[in-house]
Amino acid sequence: MADNAFAIPAVADVAPYGSDNLFARLRAASGDDWQGFCRHAFVLGLGDGSLPGAAFRHYLVQDYLFLIQFARAYGLAAYKSDSLHDLLAASHLLSAIVDKEINLHLDYCDGWGLSQADLAQVAEDLATTAYTRYVLDRGLTGDLLDLFVALAPCVVGYGEIGRRLAEDDNTRWYGNPYREWIEMYAGEDYQRVAVNAVAELDRLFHERGGAGRFNALAASFGQATRLEIAFWDMGWRAGR
């Protein structure tokens, strides 16, 4: 892995965040869809640097709009909280997006020639609307567990994608315009986010779940994964 700045421990491809947890069960239940998400042509193009710049810029704009809706999802998590622990956790996640992540994303977009004014002028793509509103719907009609399961393909999935790319011998580091993106999701800070999200799913399942809920949760996770695939498809088409 030439010019690799990381020292991420090798992990089993089948369970990068453990095998004895709710996320691993949901991941397994999603079958080929999970591989279609994590090994999408868009993702492989990030790894070897071949992704057209137009595709990535379109993705960046939509990801900005995506973040705004994710902030709303964590606002909904605060509303759905029935304990101080859950309320504080939701408040922290909401603040992290509004006070930090959106500004970091704006700075990153600026490096790709996209100003905040540019981002504000673009309408949501249907793929962006579909996944983000699906997440909000699951939270509105269900509980915190339903909401966080619908969020998991994004929150944990990006961590898995980052790890995969960092460990992949086919990933190009020198001269890769997407190196910073890979570094972000493979890096320690985001990997901690993913690990914490996996642990939170287990906590919520222990408190609110049970065997009878698994099939419905797996269906929600599977749909969210397919909507994430559609989000990659959206970016991929923009570069054709």
Q: Which residues are annotated as catalytic? A: 154, 228
Gyration radius of the chain's alpha carbons: 17
The DSSP code for 42 is H
Compute φ and ψ for 178, nearest 5 degrees.
Answer: -105, 10
- Residue where the block lists tokens 């559609």: 230
In sequence order, the 6+-apart residues with CB closer than 8 A to the CB of 214 are: 25
